[in-house]
Amino acid sequence: MILLERSTLLPTSLAHYRWSLVDSTPASGRTFARPLSVAETGFYYDRLFNGTGDMVWRYTVELADPAAQRNAMSVGGMFSEQNVGRTWATLKQYYPLLGSRIEARNDLDAPVFVVAERALSEHLPGEMVVGSISTPEEREEILCRLTRDAPTEDHHVIARVLVLACTAESLGTYELVFKLAHSAGDAASGMTLARSFLDVLSSPPMRVPALAERLEMALPWEALNPTLEMSIPRQRWRRAIGKVTFLNMRRRLSGGHAMPRKTADATYCTPSVTHQLHIRFDLAQSRAFVDFARRHSVTLGATMPVISQMALTRVLHRRYLRGEMSEEEWESRRRQPMHYGGPLNLRPHLDKEWQRKGGLSEIALMVDFYDFTLPSMPTPFGTRRDAGVPRADGAPPFAALLSRARFLYRVRETKRQITRTLEHPLFLEIAQAKHLQVYTRRKRIVLAHWQAVAAGEPLPQSPELATLDPAAPDFVYTGGLSSIGNMAAVLPTNYPLPPDHPLSIKRCCTQLSNADTADSPSTAREAPLGIHSSLATREGAIRIVDNGTYLHSSPMDFFLGNGTTRDHFELILSYDANVYRREDAEEYLRECCGALLYYFGDQDVTARGKL
């Protein structure tokens, strides 16, 4: 790799984003760098904004072997500091963004990823923690500290891992906690990180491919657009039309309304106080949901916008019928559409050769965001408040608001909107225009305003936020939505994985012999081969028994996630407690459960999920 003259290259070209050798010494090894893409830069600004966007994943795991349980944290044991260190070093070498750092050269508008070869086999303070906890409350305190109470204290690293023995649980129970900057990953990256960590932890030491080979996979999605093989004039034409198409799409966005909330002039630049609510349905309910979706040829994820709308419809009806909402506000809300947005995994749409080499499992930021609109909420009783309006727990029942047939119609309309987005011939060019024209610029301004307010200084001169976005001034998002589908497809329960498993990084690595281990970096030598050789022959040496996802949300976020974990369907609501009340969030989530049970389960019963 040679140092490239960036100024002569298109900011969207593959050459612009190739890793460059910037230093090489016998003592510290080689150091490589590449610019952050426009999308990555936006999430870099988010992280500087008090840790916004940082992602945390928690996994509760158990050791199956009684002998391994007794010695798990001893020297050479499965969860010993030596073995955890070896595992983390292997992952950083295989996924080099985990061991990178971001340098803002010249100013914040030109950040670069820097990967130092030595840093991939050594660990910074706090990057890897091996310890213990005695209560679930202690675990929650750690999670709150990572995402809310002290979100920036570990920003000297891009990623970190905490391995915590649960002393109050049965012998052999551990909590694994991963934290990752959003500029270097996404939700799919979190599952890859956990899967690879557990697979390597429970397997013999291995040698990863050469660093240069792995860096070639750690590119931004903007550099993996298949149309980069076209001529330069045609690429420019596609980007220009993509920009115009995006701006026209934004101009059509107007109106909308959200959950009852409280905002102020400075809410947009006030870091979110992220709270989270979680519901897990029992097996019978979860299977009923899946059966319903299959019978009607829809996905659970495609139904969630309408589920969310019906939940909010009941919440608002309840407010109005109790006299807590004026007729003017009600009349306005009942005529407004509902706008939703959420992330899309870009990996299947990127360069086919990159996919063939394992890009679908690469740890990197590979998401775009989509918008779609639902018609106004059903209000069949208009402005009536009289006793003739049917009520179930203070609001009209789902059956009186929207029939199952009309529910399915709205679901299919949502599916059509998302399909149109994915199948647009300029899909990736439109995605790039979003970040270049609006998203990243807005994040830069919000960061600057927050820093000015914190320092007691006047707001810096910058374009008005409203002028950046061509959407109408009255445009309001109802909320965010995200579906991870069935996690079993990408995150198996038992480890180690077979060497030929399609999701195992062992397929791309070579196992070290004892002689190889003696010549390997200290992080690989610290775990003797013997214990791993015996464990690697056992199926289910480590088993995942529980998990959780935590996100430091943006200001005003009201974000509903869903997915299936170990055959249980789950809902996770993350919201900004500066803006939304907990009791309102709980009410909304209960209504989501009720909507699922009514429209999917053909039953009108109370959810038995745990809130």
Residue pointed to by tokens 């869903």:
562
| 14 has pLDDT over 90 | no
CA distance 399 to 206: 58
Q: With CA atoms as reference, report the closest residue to 182 among 212, 148, 159.
A: 159
CA distance 217 to 357: 8
Q: With CA atoms as reference, report the closest residue to 334 among 401, 285, 261, 283.
A: 401
> What is the percent of the chain with per-residue pLDDT over 70, rounded to a whole number?
91
Q: Which residues, at least 6 apart from 595, have a Cβ–Cβ distance to it below 8 Å?
A: 307, 310, 311, 314, 398
User: pLDDT by residue (tens digit) across 273-329?
Assistant: 999 999 999 999 999 999 999 999 998 989 999 999 999 999 999 999 999 999 999
User: pLDDT by residue (tens digit) across 70-88?
Assistant: 778 777 789 999 999 999 9
State pTM to two decimals. 0.91
**pLDDT at residue 2, as a whole number:** 31
| Exposure string over 504-527, b if 16+ CB within 10 A, otherwise e | bbbebbebbeeebbeebbebbbbb
**pLDDT at residue 71, as a whole number:** 74
Q: Which residues, at least 6 apart from 596, have a Cβ–Cβ distance to it below 8 Å?
A: 281, 285, 289, 307, 569, 607
**pLDDT at residue 415, as a whole number:** 92
| 568 has pLDDT over 80 | yes
| 569 has pLDDT over 70 | yes
Q: With CA atoms as reference, report the closest residue to 209 among 1, 510, 500, 503.
A: 510
User: pLDDT by residue (tens digit) across 88-143?
Assistant: 999 999 999 999 999 997 778 899 999 999 999 999 999 999 999 999 999 999 99
**pLDDT at residue 73, as a whole number:** 78
Peptide bond into 496 cis (omega under 30): yes
Average pLDDT over residues 341-368: 96
CA distance 233 to 394: 61
**pLDDT at residue 168, as a whole number:** 79
Average pLDDT over the chain, rounded to an integer: 90
Residue 72, SS3? coil
**pLDDT at residue 66, as a whole number:** 72
Read off the pLDDT band of 529 (50, 70, 90): very low
404-423 and 300-321 helices cross at what angle (nearest 10)? 130
pLDDT greater at residue 540 or residue 256: 256
**pLDDT at residue 524, as a whole number:** 45
> What is the percent of the chain with per-residue pLDDT over 90, rounded to a whole number?
79
Average pLDDT over residues 415-430: 95
> Which amino acid is present at 382?
G
Q: Going from the N-terminus, what domains does the chain have, and what CATH number goes with each?
A: 6-222+497-539 (3.30.559.10), 271-358+368-486+553-599 (3.30.559.30)
**pLDDT at residue 556, as a whole number:** 97
Residue 567 zone, left/alpha/beta (φ > 0; ψ -120 to 50; rest) = left
User: pLDDT by residue (tens digit) across 149-189?
Assistant: 888 999 999 999 999 999 877 788 999 999 999 999 999 99
| 518 has pLDDT over 90 | no
Q: Which residue blocks in 484-579 are alpha helix, DSSP H?
A: 514-519, 522-525, 529-536
- Token output for 82: 């030596």
CA distance 447 to 418: 31
- Token output for 434: 């979003």
